[in-house]
Amino acid sequence: MSLHTAKSRFERLLPWGVSLLVHCGVALVLGLMVFQTAPDGPVSRDPSAGVPSSTLPRRVTPRPMRTTMANSESPVRPGEGASDTTGAGLERSLGIGASSESGGPPETAFSLEAESDRSVVPLSDEVRAGESATFFGVTSPAQDVVYVIDFSQSVGVSFDRVQREVTRSIGRLEENQRFHIILFSDGPPIEGRAGDLVAATRPAKRAAAEFLGGVQPEGRTEPIAALMRALDVLQTEDRRTKLLCLLTDGEFPDSAEVVQTIRVKNADSRVRVNTYLVGGSASSAATLRRIAEQNNGAFVRVDR
C-alpha cells in the first residue's frame, strides 16, 4: 500500500474515530454519575401515592368502640357503622337489609356504656326462643314488649344512638312476638304507626325503622302519659309475658308521682318494667332503680 493511499484512508476514518471516542467518554461519565447517586438498597413505594413509603405517615388502625356491662365477663365489641338513623342505616341495624357474614343483623358502633345492677334477668325454664327481648344487654321474658323512649332535649346527642339500639332490639324479635314504640317529651306521646302491638314481621320492623328515623329530640321530660298508655297496651287479658322498657334521662318534674303512677297501674305486677337511665343524676338513678325493683325488672345505667 502506497503512502498516499494510507493517508487517504486515515483522513476518511478520522471523523468516525473522534465521534466514537466522544460517545465512549460521555457514556463513561454518565455511568459514574448514576453509580455515585444510587441508593444502597431498593426503595419501596406506595403504588397509590407514587412516593417512597419512608415519607408516608404510619397507618393506624382505629380501635373498635366497646360496650361493657358491669356484670359481664367480657366486653361486647360492636362492629364499624356510621350513626345513620334513616333509611338503609336503620334497616341494617334491624337486620332487614343485607345480612352480615355471621347470618344475623350486623353490629353497630356507639359510644354508650351500659352498667347494670342486674345485667340479665333470669329466664324461667318455660321460656323458649322467641319469648324474650334484649335491650342494652338486658334479656327478659317478653312475648309482648313496649319501648317507652324519652326524646326530650336533655337526652340530646345520645338520642341517635338510642334509636339504633331500639332498632337492634326489635330486629332480634321473632314473628310470634309483638312490639310497640311510644316516644315522650312534654306533649302528647308519639306512638308507632300501628298505634298498638304488632307482630315482629319484616314489614313491621321496617316501619319501626322509618318511624324512629323521623324523630328529633325536643321539649322536656314528662313521662306519665306515655307510661299510662304503655301499660294500657300491655295489660290485656291474654297470658302472654309482658315487658315495658323505659329509657330516659330521669329528669322528671315529680319523680314520686311517676313511681306512684306505675305502682298503681301495674298493681298486679303483670308487666315487668326494666328502666334505663341515660346520663342523669344520683336522684334520677334512685328513682329508676326503685321503679325496676317494684316491678320485677332490671335497672341499667347508660353513660353518655
Q: What is the pLDDT of residues 149-206, one digit of tens each?
A: 998 887 766 788 889 999 999 999 999 999 999 999 988 999 998 889 999 999 999 9
What's residue 116's pLDDT? 43
Q: Are residues 113 and 193 located together in one domain of the fold?
A: yes
Q: Are residues 159 and 295 located together in one domain of the fold?
A: yes
Q: For residue 155, what is its C-alpha cell?
A: 337526652
User: Would you say residue 127 has pLDDT above 80?
Assistant: no
Strand partners, 198: 179
| Confidence band of 125 (pLDDT split at 50, 70, 90) | very low
Summarised one tens digit per residue, pLDDT across range 261-302 is: 999 999 999 999 999 998 878 999 999 999 999 999 999 998
Closest CA to 295 of 124, 121, 179, 173: 121
Residue 82 in domain: no
Residue-range definition of the domain harbouring residue 32 = 3-40
Residue 208: partners with Cβ closer than 8 Å, 6 or more residues away: 94, 166, 167, 170, 179, 181, 192
Residue 193 in domain: yes
Q: Are residues 128 and 15 located together in one domain of the fold?
A: no
Supply the mean pLDDT for the chain: 73
What's residue 92's pLDDT? 54
What's residue 5's pLDDT? 65
Q: Are residues 102 and 19 located together in one domain of the fold?
A: no
CA 60 to chain centroid, in Å, comes to 21
Q: Are residues 34 and 115 located together in one domain of the fold?
A: no
What's residue 6's pLDDT? 62
Q: Are residues 129 and 263 located together in one domain of the fold?
A: yes
What's residue 219's pLDDT? 79
Residue 78 in domain: no
Q: Are residues 20 and 110 located together in one domain of the fold?
A: no
Domain count, the chain: 2
Residue 252 in domain: yes
Q: Are residues 151 and 31 located together in one domain of the fold?
A: no
Asked if 237 and 203 touch (Cβ cutoff 8 Å), the reply is no
**What is the C-alpha separation between 116 and 119, in angstroms, rounded?**
5
Strands 144-150 and 242-248: parallel
**What is the C-alpha separation between 248 and 159, in angstroms, rounded?**
10
What's residue 30's pLDDT? 74
User: Would you say residue 210 has pLDDT above 60?
Assistant: yes
Q: What's the sign of the alpha-carbon dihedral 100, 181, 160, 255?
A: negative
Q: Are residues 106 and 32 located together in one domain of the fold?
A: no
User: Would you say residue 57 has pLDDT above 60?
Assistant: no
Mean pLDDT of 214-229: 90
Residue 99 in domain: yes
Residue 25 in domain: yes
Residue 70 in domain: no
| Confidence band of 3 (pLDDT split at 50, 70, 90) | low
Mean pLDDT of 38-67: 39
Q: Which amino acid is at 141?
A: P
Q: Is 8 or 228 the better-scoring residue by pLDDT? A: 228
Q: Are residues 10 and 140 located together in one domain of the fold?
A: no
User: Would you say residue 216 has pLDDT above 60?
Assistant: yes
Q: Are residues 194 and 101 located together in one domain of the fold?
A: yes
114-126 as b/e, with b when 16 or more CB fall inside 10 Å? bbbebbebeeeee
Q: Are residues 200 and 289 located together in one domain of the fold?
A: yes
Q: Is 137 or 68 the better-scoring residue by pLDDT? A: 137
pTM for this structure?
0.63
CATH number at residue 215: 3.40.50.410
Residue 79 in domain: no
- How far is the CA of 178 from the CAs of 19, 203, 258, 297, in angstroms? 96, 13, 26, 19
What's residue 190's pLDDT? 93
User: Would you say residue 228 has pLDDT above 70?
Assistant: yes
* Other Cβ atoms within 10 Å of 242 Cβ, number: 24
Task: Give, in degrees to the nearest 5, the angle at Cα 85 between 84 and 89.
Answer: 55
**What is the C-alpha separation between 17 and 36, in angstroms, rounded?**
29
